[in-house]
Amino acid sequence: MRRRQIKYRFILSLAAIALVLLASGIGVPLLWKVRVVSGTVRDATGQPLSGATVRVKATDIATRTDAAGRFTLGGFTPAFRLPVTAWQEGYYVAGAGASPWKSTVDIVLAPYAVPDNTNYSWVLPAAETRSAVAEWFTQTGLSLAVLVSFNRAFLPLAARLSLGCRDCHGQTIYDQWAASTHALGAQNARFLTMYNGTDVNGNQSPPTRYGYNRDYGSFPLRPDPNQPYYGPGYKLDFPNTAGNCAACHLPSAAIEQPYGIDPNQVAGVDAQGTHCDFCHKIVAVKLDPATGRPYENMPGILSLTLMRPSPEPQLFFGPYDDVDVGPDTYLPLVKQSQLCAPCHNANFWGVPIYQSFAEWQASPYPAQGKTCQSCHMQPDGVTTNFAPGRGGLERDPGTIPTHNFPGAADETLLQNAVTMTSSTRREGDTVIVEVSITNDQTGHHVPTDSPLRQLILLVQATTADGKPLAQLDGPTVPEWGGVGDPGEGYYAELPGTAYAKVLQELWTEITPTGAYWNPTRVLSDNRIPALASATSTYTFAAPDEEEVRVEVTLLFRRAFIALMDQKGWDVPDIIMAQQSLAVDRESKLQGDWPCWVTYQPRLIRFKIGLPGGGKHHARHTA
């Protein structure tokens, strides 16, 4: 009996101890928390680092170290374990963990190696030649390793595997980039056909013909009208050189030979355009201090400074100063418009061609802190982790930039680029239509960059039964809007106007031209600057007894239609805005509504209030 009592007391004692430990395990983290953390940031030699940024990881709670490298952080939500990071220019991000029993931490920053390693091998955006089975084992192994320990299991495993960016950033950053135009590289049909002087089927125009002038020597002639012609091409004009096109379109291939890379010969990771590792190895941009822009004829890689590690540890420049789980460092340039300038601001032969960066500079937006990234890498408001299951932390979705890089092919961006307003009034037996387009949503001119791009405004007035009314006054679409059937997208001489930078070749006087590798002049430029408006007025004959219907449509077109026909490009116009109005006999406005309100999520092709139907029809989410 006595032994049984002792046994029961022993069991009860163990149970009590277990309950106490359990309560402690639950209660201690709830009650015992870090409320203030302090410490010192030093370099690898033990010297204190002044001005280093210290942050409570994945928050906006941050401070800077004093002259002795010391810091104190407060104002954060008390926590049982608190990750703290530190960063200073020239060093990798590093971190430490504060706890109730250790609220003073020391953080040691390691410098990254300089200079640039020209023998560096790029990290692939996605690992190649991995079977489905290997893919499953790789992803499962990485996921399990993270659960065990990021530093002790995941990082050693990752070092043994051949990984690509997708393995850690898939379904977020990688998937966005892979669907973007930055990933096109050597797969961009418009770029390659313009470079080679071919159409999409590989048919090539005849080589450029030359005449001779005693004062000037040889000079280019217009294409022979009796020969098949598939549009201009760099290689037609300069068959013995490669040019500097790859400096932007295939930048990692052009690093050592910016004027010697033929895009047709590029393969591997270099063929994947502006790929992940390339962008995250940029450390500086070379700008003219007088203008703040790249120097003339220095596009792409010619205006970039890279820093590739040699050989280990790795090095990635990014937008965060608190990523301490890998070989990462913060670079303010990543969040600045200047990063985009080398490929989005270029002059050739003294003529401004791509100018979206300069246009942004001249706008009010720099003073407002709005950058290229504000629109073209705008957070989606949904993504909270850019490396889910791979060591990434949950963050404010407003701090994670997207990598879709929406631009000239993005319908949503284009449909939210400008505001179009239309009004009508009767004056005797006429109807007057006024259309105003305000560039209130972009940080540059519209359209911008490639001088092939244009906006086409169509204004159609009809009777109630659809009979077109005669235009008495007002502009019409210029000849380069396409001479031919309006139902096929040829809108020249229709009521309306167009907005574009029109280039003319100096010697051949071909207008408009996209062959800006030749000497050109700006023949006209009526594009709409940021926050500016363009207004046009149209007068139509309208008998008093007739009700009048007006359809106003604003189109975005990627290239001049004659060039698209020569090249065989199938790039439908995109409707940016559309409005329908009706004017009765008393000149009362019956309706004025933006067409996009009724759109449904599907792609259709249709005529713009015009007869027929064809390959250059507008497309829209309708």
What are the tens digits of pLDDT across the range 138-174? 999 999 999 998 888 998 999 899 999 999 998 889 9
Question: Is residue 18 over pLDDT 90?
Answer: no
Answer whether 537's CB lies under 8 Å from 433's CB.
Answer: yes
Mean pLDDT confidence for 463-472: 94
State the residue for tokens 């790929």. Answer: 275
List pLDDT tens digits, range 72-98: 999 999 999 999 999 999 999 999 999
Give, as one character, the DSSP assignment of residue 447: S
Domain residue ranges in the chain: 37-109, 181-399, 411-621
Per-residue pLDDT at 620: 45
Question: Can you read off the two tokens belonging to residue 239?
Answer: 């068959």
In this predicted structure, what is the pLDDT of residue 611? Answer: 34
Q: What is the pLDDT of residue 289?
A: 97
Phi, psi of 185 (to 5 degrees): 50, -120
Residue 43, strand partner residues: 109
394-403, 542-551, 587-596: which has the minimum mean pLDDT? 587-596
What pLDDT was estimated at residue 597?
28
**pLDDT recorded at residue 1:** 55
Q: Give me the mean pLDDT over the 328-345 stretch.
A: 98
128 confidence band (pLDDT: 50, 70, 90): confident
How does residue 607 score in pLDDT terms, banded at 50, 70 and 90?
very low
- Cα 293 → chain centroid: 19
Neighbour order of strands in the sheet with 37-43:
70-73, 37-43, 104-109
Cβ-Cβ contacts under 8 Å for 554 (sequence gap 6 or more)? 418, 420, 437, 455, 456, 457, 458, 575, 576, 577, 578
Enclosing H/E stretch for 50 = none
Q: Is the pLDDT score of 553 beyond 90? A: yes
pLDDT at 113: 86
Q: How confident is the model at residue 114 (pLDDT cuts 50, 70, 90)?
A: confident
Mapping DSSP onto H, E and C, the string for 430-441 reads: EEEEEEEEECCC
Segment 487-512 mean pLDDT: 98
pLDDT exceeds cutoff 90 at 25 = no
Average pLDDT, the chain: 90
pLDDT attached to residue 216? 85
pLDDT of the residue at 589: 44
- Residue 482 DSSP SS3: coil
pLDDT at 599 over 60: no
Task: For residue 447, say if its preceding peptide bond is cis, omega within 30 degrees of 0.
Answer: yes
What is the reported pLDDT for 95?
96
When pLDDT is averaged across residues 278-296 and rounded to a whole number, the result is 97
Query: Which pLDDT score is estimated for 108?
Result: 98
Q: Let me know: does 372 contact 340? Beta carbons within 8 Å.
A: yes
Confidence at 9, pLDDT banded by 50, 70, 90: low
pLDDT band at 612 (very low <50, low <70, confident <90, very high): very low
- Assigned superfamily of 37-109: Carboxypeptidase-like, regulatory domain (2.60.40.1120)
In this prediction, residues 181-186 reach a mean pLDDT of: 93
613 pLDDT more than 50: no
* Residue burial 442-478, b: 16+ Cβ < 10 Å; e: rest: bbbbbbbbbbbbbbbbbbbbbeeeeeebebeebebbb
Confidence of residue 446 (pLDDT cuts 50, 70, 90): very high
pLDDT digits (tens, 9 = 90+) for 351-401: 999 999 999 999 999 999 999 999 999 999 999 999 999 989 999 999 999
Q: What gap in Å lies between CA 193 and CA 396, rounded to an integer?
A: 43
According to the model, what pLDDT value does residue 621 have? 40
Residues 6+ apart with CB under 8 A from 33: 78, 79, 80, 100
- Asked whether the beta carbons of 16 and 283 are under 8 A apart, the reply is no
- Rounded CA-CA distance 504/138 in Å is 55
Phi, psi torsion values for 147, nearest 5 degrees = -65, -35
Phi and psi of 140, rounded to 5°?
-65, -45
How far apart are alpha carbons 42 and 471 in whole angstroms?
76
pTM: 0.88
Q: State which of 111-115, 170-174, 434-438, 596-600 shows the largest mean pLDDT.
A: 434-438
- The gap from C-alpha 459 to its chain's centroid, in whole angstroms, comes to 32
User: Is pLDDT above 70 for 588?
Assistant: no
What percent of the chain lies above the pLDDT cut of 90? Answer: 82
Contact indicator for 175, 164 with CB cutoff of 8 Å = no
